Structure 1
Amino acid sequence: MAMMLATPCRAGEAADAALIARGAYLAKLADCAGCHTNAPTGQPPQPSPPFAGGLPMGSPFGTIWTTNITPDPTYGIGRYSYEDFERAVREGVAPGGKRLYPAMPFPSFSKISDDDMHALYAYFMHGVAPVAKPSPETKLPFPFNQRLGLTAWDELFAPQERFEPRTDRSAQWNRGAYLVQALGHCGACHTPRGPAYEERGYNDGDPLYLTGGTNDHWSAPNLTGDPDSGLGRLSADDIAAFLKQGHGAGLSAFGSMVEVIENSGQYMTDDDLRAIAMYLKTLPPRRKSGHVDTDPARNAATVGVLRTGAIEYPGAGVYNAYCARCHHADGRGEPGKYPALAGNPTVVAPHATSLIRLLIEGGRSAATKGGPKPQRMPSFKGKLSDTEIARVLTFVRNAWGNEAQPVAPRDVSRMRSVLHR
């Protein structure tokens, strides 16, 4: 499996244009800009320059600020040798022995091939403009501010191994596995974490790998073949389209996944998109949650409730008043505009975290080259009470054949508290 198209650039050697271009593409595959560029939407503050850091990332231990990874010699990585760069990316250790917090997905990046690592180094040293801008200092409370403790964390939880292609699989499967497990670091969001914030698996041989996780108050869905809350009912073409434009099979990207589509997915080659989709479609169903009954009679029953205004279904009235205009009485939305709620894996996921946050904050769909026009979902923080949000989400999670756990008002109240909304 070819991971590199040019001769590696060793430290101190001049980087050629092809190698830098290759590194630029790899940086998009890894979505480096997603974490290391502070690009808030809407009103000021203004976005920071590319890769200048300064993005606040929520963690169970406090806010972690991302670093400047431009080649500025004072505030960035301009003085890094290749060995410095490689150790920081793969092992989470910056020059001087400073340990990086595992918000940096170095356990996944440890699998990046040597050729790809050299290309990334060439790009960040010769293809990125230096920015003389310091990043805010991460100040976590004790004992999490003691970085020496990360040495033990790394020993216990951070694998140090390159990706090894499987001889019993095709080149396309291996390419997809490499992109998902290494550069794409999909498990950083889509794999559950343990009490020490460690990912509960780093490849498809681990039973919890890609079965869904929660980060920064967003729930990343199950990517295994579960037909209800996973990808079981999506085709490989659906998955590739979703990664490219943020829409596929009636689904729409939201939350932090929007930035992944905009910074990474839309720039992937069709071959890489197909490889990722093909790999994901081979993952067996795991960590089943919720249920979707596809019997048309179930959908018709919900449509009847909404059209007759039956009051015995709490939340139906709220749905009619605020949601039906876009998502419609049949819950099928409009392809390329508004996502379907009927049969949506996120709707029947074990946790309604993302749904609650969406209703409180609102959101938008991805803006991609050649993709559908972005749509915005309004915030309901000032329109709906905690009880009304809980009721409408409980209704949606159990309408049209959806079957999932109800949402309690205290769940909404807790989310408002952490979001300060």
Structure 2
Amino acid sequence: MKTTLKGLAAALCAVLPFAAQVPAHAADQALVQRGAYVAKLGDCVACHTAPKGKPFAGGLPMNTPMGRIYTTNITPDQQTGIGSYSEADFARAMREGVAKDGHNLYPAMPYPSYAKVNDDDMKALYAYFMSGVAPVQQPNREPDIKWPLNMRWPLKFWNMVFLDKGVYQDKSGKDVAWNRGAYLIQGLGHCGSCHTPRGIAFQEKALDETGSAFLTGGVLDGWFASNLTGEHNVGLGRWNDQDLQAFLKTGANRHASAFGSMTSVINNSTQNMSDTDVAAMSAYLKSLPAAGGTGAPPYTFDPQATKVSLNRPANNAGARVYTAYCMHCHGVDGRGFAPMLAPLSGNPNVLEKDPSSLINVTLNGTEDLVIGGIPAPYPMPKYAPVLNDQQIADVLTFVRGGWNNGAPSVSAEDVAKLRKSTQAAK
């Protein structure tokens, strides 16, 4: 009996260390998997992957008011990536915009938003980048910013003024879904970095709903990122929860379709979010009161005057271009064939005072929305090689005035300026 007990004890001693290792390994893998989801919430791959480049190896050009910068290698490569970063180094770069060697990152890296990311998500994200991402040896490229604007030490003072440290804290009186949505929108989703206007120092004019400028739309890299408040015409005032959730999951709904950098957000981030997180984001956004906008009366659809112009296109330069190049997709009534083909009548991007996005998407088209691995069948083509500046100005003026849209006209000078800047960026 004693011999049997000794044998059993010996067997247990041999097995227990192995058994103890299994849950630890499983927990590590679970943390890495959770970090992969957190990385999708933050859409890290979109900025840190160059066209035809390897994932997270950096090199994507980004235009700023000071000049062009290039995103960095965030793979775990020891020499050129972040492989030597400790968890504390990683968190400092994410939340404070300070690299391991002490140099300050440009605020094109949305660290003012990532400052709100909680410790659990930061830990999971670090685990993913250290253990779930393949290392790529690719040196970082220096920014194309001339002296003295390329000096980084002034960014220390920028941080002192504009960086609000501290992770997101749940707001009392708000439910779980609202707080989760606020955390995702303000933090990991960093929606304000594009959709909030910036001040003279390139700072976001507001970082949460307590600021009147928050998510009222902003110009960035040749696009106007839409107003996300409850504003009736240019915002989400006419969108219900189903509309907004459909847009986040598929990039299109009965009101609009994604274009520009938002296409990448849909492709790499929001379509991969859980239904619960998408619903939380929608709940938060739909709670925001109307702000920004043009002050125009609430939009109502009226096709009559536009039908007359389209029946006699010879009398209207914009109508001539529209009938030749646009009408087969967007329709006589401007309602398109949503969600596959975007409507133009009442589209918030059409009604917006700033025409940058309309000019840009007409000139350069948009990348494919790829939902569940299937590309959208009818992406917007590029017309820069086909139409001159005056023709694009004419057709956009026609569209912005048609179907009771009532938006300002577009000039050939506006088109020429954006044509030059977007071609130079390629």
**TM-score, normalized by length of structure 1?**
0.92
2:46 is matched with 34
Task: Assess, with a 3 A threshold, how the Cα gap between structure 1 residues 111 and 357 changes in structure 2: closer, same or farther.
Answer: same
Residue of structure 2 aligned with 1:204, choices 209, 214, 239: 209
Task: Assess, with a 3 A threshold, how the Cα gap between structure 1 residues 295 and 179 changes in structure 2: closer, same or farther.
Answer: closer
- Of 243-252 and 319-328, more deviation after overlay is shown by 243-252
Could you tell me how far 1:374 is from its partner in structure 2?
3.8
Q: Is the 8 A contact 1:19 1:122 kept in 2?
A: yes
1:57 aligns with 2:69: no
Q: 1:60-139 maps to which residues of 2 (within 5 A)?
A: 60-139=65-144
Using the alignment, how far apart are the partners of 2:387 and 2:267 within structure 1?
A: 31
Residues 325-376 of structure 1, C-alpha deviation per residue, up to 9 Å, x if partnerless? Answer: 1001100111232100000000011210011111111224411107673422
Q: Is the 8 A contact 2:232 2:299 kept in 1?
A: no
Q: Is the 8 A contact 2:97 2:111 kept in 1?
A: yes
2:126 maps to amino acid: Y
Using the alignment, how far apart are the partners of 2:169 and 2:68 within structure 1?
A: 35
Task: Assess, with a 3 A threshold, how the Cα gap between structure 1 residues 107 and 395 changes in structure 2: closer, same or farther.
Answer: same
Residue of structure 2 aligned with 1:289, choices 291, 294, 306: 294
Task: Assess, with a 3 A threshold, how the Cα gap between structure 1 residues 90 and 15 changes in structure 2: closer, same or farther.
Answer: farther
- Kindly name which structure, 1 or 2, has the bigger radius of gyration based on alpha carbons: 2
Could you tell me how far 1:249 is from its partner in structure 2?
2.1
Q: 1:141-290 maps to which residues of 2 (within 5 A)?
A: 141-289=146-294
Q: Is the 8 A contact 1:292 1:343 kept in 2?
A: no
1:417 is matched with 420
Task: Assess, with a 3 A threshold, how the Cα gap between structure 1 residues 29 and 295 changes in structure 2: closer, same or farther.
Answer: closer
Using the alignment, how far apart are the partners of 2:332 and 2:234 within structure 1?
A: 22
Count how many residue pairs are aligned between Structure 1 and Structure 2: 400
Residues 93-134 of structure 1, C-alpha deviation per residue, up to 9 Å, x if partnerless? Answer: 011211000010000000000111111111111111111111
- Of 332-341 and 187-196, more deviation after overlay is shown by 332-341
3-state SS, counterpart of residue 349 of structure 2: coil
Please identify which structure carries the higher helix content.
2
3-state SS, counterpart of residue 341 of structure 1: coil
Residue of structure 2 aligned with 1:302, choices 306, 322, 331: 306
3-state SS, counterpart of residue 214 of structure 1: strand
Could you tell me how far 1:410 is from its partner in structure 2?
0.7
Using the alignment, how far apart are the partners of 2:393 and 2:295 within structure 1?
A: 17
Residue of structure 1 aligned with 2:378, choices 358, 372, 375: 375
3-state SS, counterpart of residue 382 of structure 1: coil
2:306 maps to amino acid: T
3-state SS, counterpart of residue 265 of structure 2: helix
1:389 aligns with 2:401: no
3-state SS, counterpart of residue 398 of structure 1: helix
Residue of structure 2 aligned with 1:24, choices 32, 36, 47: 36
Task: Assess, with a 3 A threshold, how the Cα gap between structure 1 residues 295 and 205 changes in structure 2: closer, same or farther.
Answer: closer
Q: Is the 8 A contact 2:368 2:375 kept in 1?
A: no
Q: Is the 8 A contact 1:229 1:291 kept in 2?
A: no
2:158 maps to amino acid: W
Computed over aligned residues only, the root mean square deviation of the Cα atoms, in angstroms, reads 1.7
Q: Is the 8 A contact 1:245 1:372 kept in 2?
A: no
Could you tell me how far 1:383 is from its partner in structure 2?
2.1
Residue of structure 1 aligned with 2:356, choices 353, 356, 366: 353
3-state SS, counterpart of residue 350 of structure 2: coil
1:307 maps to amino acid: N
1:323 aligns with 2:321: no
Could you tell me how far 1:318 is from its partner in structure 2?
1.1
Mark the runs of 5 or more structure 2 residues left unpaired by the alignment. Answer: 1-24
Mark the runs of 5 or more structure 1 residues left unpaired by the alignment. Answer: 1-12, 41-46
Using the alignment, how far apart are the partners of 1:303 and 1:155 within structure 2?
A: 56
Using the alignment, how far apart are the partners of 2:206 and 2:60 within structure 1?
A: 26
1:400 maps to amino acid: W
Identity level (%):
49
- Of 357-366 and 335-344, more deviation after overlay is shown by 357-366
Using the alignment, how far apart are the partners of 1:365 and 1:305 within structure 2?
A: 32
Residues 252-310 of structure 1, C-alpha deviation per residue, up to 9 Å, x if partnerless? Answer: 111111000001011000000010011100000001226476545x2132123212336
Residues 379-402 of structure 1, C-alpha deviation per residue, up to 9 Å, x if partnerless? Answer: 221222211111111111111110
Could you tell me how far 1:157 is from its partner in structure 2?
1.2
3-state SS, counterpart of residue 175 of structure 1: helix
**TM-score, normalized by length of structure 2?**
0.91
Using the alignment, how far apart are the partners of 1:18 and 1:356 within structure 2?
A: 45
Using the alignment, how far apart are the partners of 1:392 and 1:292 within structure 2?
A: 24
2:3 is matched with none
